[in-house]
Structure 1
Amino acid sequence: MTSTVTRINPPTMAKPGGHYSHVSVANGFVFVSGQLPIKPDGTKLVDASFEEQAAQVLANVRAALEAAGSSVAQLVQVRVYVASLDDWPAFNAVYALWAAEARPARAVVPTGPLHFGFRVEVEAVGVVAA
């Protein structure tokens, strides 16, 4: 059985900063690459508050999901990387508003410094909306 993989870099997101796609879709699953707090115009929110960084990261995840025909409600799993566990309560508050009724499986991974000095990164797996 052959499976087709579709790779998507939505025009509503900044261009990928490396050799990857923002989204890969295969067998009905949507894989969102790790998203950083970068606005669609490429502005890096390094000096923004943690809450602003988290909100932008989650907006990027939403944009990636929607470009692949999915949504936050169709999330299966979310992995959150935080530079400091001290930021976890703030992330959880922003995430709860963003995810609303969706409660996908989730993990938090404390990492120490992240790329560009960002404080949060999120990757996700969902399914294509039926």
Structure 2
Amino acid sequence: MDKKIINTSHAPDPIGPYSQAVKANGMLFISGQVAIKPGTSELITDNIQKETEQVMSNLKAILNEAGLEFEHVLKTTIFLKDMSLFTSVNEVYGKFFNLNFPARETVAVKGLPKDVNVEISMIAAE
């Protein structure tokens, strides 16, 4: 198997024993991203639109480091602290894709790391 760890300073450092992303056999698996500003420990949670924008920017940085774009994304998973945030998150998320949207599920969970409101992971392919 051809396995490569993807890491960029343009996305936040992992907050645990995991990689930002792993690329293997033309597939990219991006770990769940939260709204931490890269290079800082600053967390954006006071506005769900700004929080989602930061999450998507972090994901974009990882995709770019792997030589990919949002058009390469096959599947996403969105974790929400509360399903009442769905519409706001969806509006921001949708701006990052053209009409060929990836497959996706959105789930409400009891809690997320650092008590954030949204976390998003992705699977992409070359």
Structure 2 CA distance for aligned equivalents of residues 15 and 70 of structure 1: 19
Gaps of 5+ in 1: none
Task: Name which of structure 1's ranges 78-87 and 102-111 shifts more when overlaid on structure 2.
Answer: 102-111
Structure 2 CA distance for aligned equivalents of residues 101 and 21 of structure 1: 30
Q: Please, which of 91, 94, 99 is the counterpart of residue 93 of structure 1?
A: 91
Match of 1:73 in 2: 71
Q: Secondary structure at the match of 1:99?
A: coil
Structure 1 CA distance for aligned equivalents of residues 14 and 29 of structure 2: 15
8 Å Cα contact 1:15/1:42 also seen in 2: no
Q: Please, which of 69, 79, 82 is the counterpart of residue 80 of structure 2?
A: 82
Task: Give me the TM-score of the superposition, normalised by structure 2.
Answer: 0.94
Gaps of 5+ in 2: none
Correspondence 1:108 to 2:106? yes
Instruction: Let me know the Cα RMSD of the aligned residues.
Output: 1.2
Structure 1 CA distance for aligned equivalents of residues 93 and 66 of structure 2: 21
Task: Name which of structure 1's ranges 114-123 and 46-55 shifts more when overlaid on structure 2.
Answer: 46-55
Q: Tell me by how many angstroms 1:46 deviates.
A: 4.5
Percent of residue pairs identical: 27
8 Å Cα contact 2:45/2:117 also seen in 1: no
